[in-house]
C-alpha cells in the first residue's frame, strides 16, 4: 500500500496586509501580487485588508503506523481570550466540520486510532489538539520545549495557557535532537529557523517525496520567492534560509503550512495516488 497524505483545514485565521509586507525590503519586487488579499472584519469590528489562511493538520495513510502531523487549535475560545488580553486585533474562524475529530472521522479514523503525532513546532495553532490522542506517542524536537513551557514575550505565538498541551502528553513524548526516520517512508529533519526546534516532515509517496513544511514555508509565495517572511515567522534567518535549501534538495512536492491554494492543487485534499 502506498502512502497518501490527507490535508485538513482545522480553522481559519488572518494576517493584516501591512504585516505581510513589513519586511519585504528589496527581496520582492513591488509588483508581485500576494494572492488572496481581501477586506477582513477583525475582532474589534474594524475593517482592513488582510489575507486569510487555513490552519492545517495532515494524516498519513498507508504507513506502518497511523500518523498525524500537528493537531490544530481545538480551544478557540481560549485563543480568542488570550489574544484579546494581549490587545491583538485578530481574526479566527471555526466550523464544526473543521474540528479535528470530524476531519479524521471523514476518512474512518478516530482520535484513538492515532499511533504517532509529529508536532512540526509548538506554536498555538499546531498543538491545540494534542490532548485528544490518548494512544499516541509524540515526536517533538527537544529545542522546542523551553519556549513552549515558558512562553517568554520575545517569542511570539507560544502562549503560557497552551503549556497544558505539552504537560498533558509529557510522558509520551519522544524528544528528538535532530533528524529521525519515524517509520519507513516518513522522516523528520530538524531545520529550526521558524522556531528553535521546527522540523520538516519528508514523506515518500508514489508521486514523489513530499515536504510537510509546517511554518518554515507558510505560503507558496514564500517558497517561489525564497522569502521566509513576514517578520513574525523568523526566529533565526540563517537557519530558515538553510531550511529552504534542505527542502529544495530533498523534496519534489512542497506543502506550505498555511495556504488555501493547497486545495486548488489537490481538490480532494489528498496528496499521492
Q: Which residues bind Zn ion (CB under 5 A)?
A: 125, 215
Neighbour count for residue 258 (Cβ, 10 Å): 23
The least CB distance from residue 10 to Zn ion, in Å, is: 11
The least CB distance from residue 30 to Zn ion, in Å, is: 27
The least CB distance from residue 29 to Zn ion, in Å, is: 26
Given the complex with Zn ion, which of 74 and 125 has the nearer CB atom?
125
Given the complex with Zn ion, which of 62 and 156 has the nearer CB atom?
156
Given the complex with Zn ion, which of 4 and 258 has the nearer CB atom?
258
CA neighbor of 250 nearest in space, from 193, 198, 189, 206: 189
The least CB distance from residue 16 to Zn ion, in Å, is: 16
Given the complex with Zn ion, which of 125 and 144 has the nearer CB atom?
125
How far, in Å, CA of 109 to CA of 85, rounded?
Answer: 36
Amino acid at each position: 500500500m502506498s502512502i497518501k497524505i490527507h490535508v485538513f483545514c482545522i480553522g481559519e485565521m488572518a494576517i493584516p496586509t501591512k504585516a505581510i509586507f513589513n519586511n519585504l525590503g528589496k527581496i520582492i519586487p513591488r509588483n508581485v501580487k500576494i494572492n488572496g488579499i481581501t477586506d477582513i472584519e477583525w475582532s474589534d469590528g474594524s475593517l482592513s485588508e488582510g489575507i486569510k489562511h487555513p490552519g492545517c493538520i495532515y494524516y498519513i495513510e498507508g504507513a506502518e503506523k497511523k500518523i498525524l502531523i500537528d493537531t490544530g487549535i481545538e480551544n478557540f475560545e481560549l485563543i480568542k481570550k488570550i489574544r484579546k488580553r494581549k490587545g491583538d486585533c485578530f481574526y479566527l474562524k471555526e466550523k464544526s466540520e473543521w474540528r479535528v475529530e470530524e476531519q479524521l472521522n471523514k476518512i474512518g479514523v478516530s482520535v484513538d486510532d492515532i499511533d504517532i503525532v509529529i508536532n512540526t513546532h509548538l506554536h498555538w495553532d499546531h498543538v491545540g489538539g494534542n490532548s485528544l490522542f490518548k494512544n499516541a506517542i509524540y515526536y517533538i524536537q527537544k529545542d522546542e520545549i523551553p519556549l513552549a513551557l515558558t512562553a517568554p514575550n520575545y517569542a511570539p505565538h507560544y502562549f503560557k495557557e497552551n503549556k497544558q498541551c505539552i504537560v498533558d502528553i509529557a510522558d509520551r513524548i519522544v524528544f528528538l535532537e535532530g533528524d529521525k526516520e519515524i517509520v519507513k517512508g516518513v522522516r523528520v529533519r530538524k531545520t529550526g529557523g521558524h522556531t528553535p526546534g521546527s522540523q520538516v516532515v519528508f514523506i515518500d509517496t508514489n508521486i514523489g517525496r513530499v515536504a510537510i513544511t509546517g511554518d518554515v514555508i507558510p505560503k507558496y509565495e514564500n517558497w517561489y520567492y525564497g522569502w521566509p517572511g513576514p517578520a513574525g515567522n523568523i526566529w533565526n534567518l540563517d537557519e530558515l534560509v538553510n531550511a529552504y535549501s534542505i527542502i529544495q534538495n530533498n523534496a519534489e512536492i512542497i506543502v506550505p503550512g498555511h495556504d488555501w491554494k493547497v486545495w486548488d492543487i489537490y481538490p480532494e485534499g489528498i496528496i499521492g495516488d
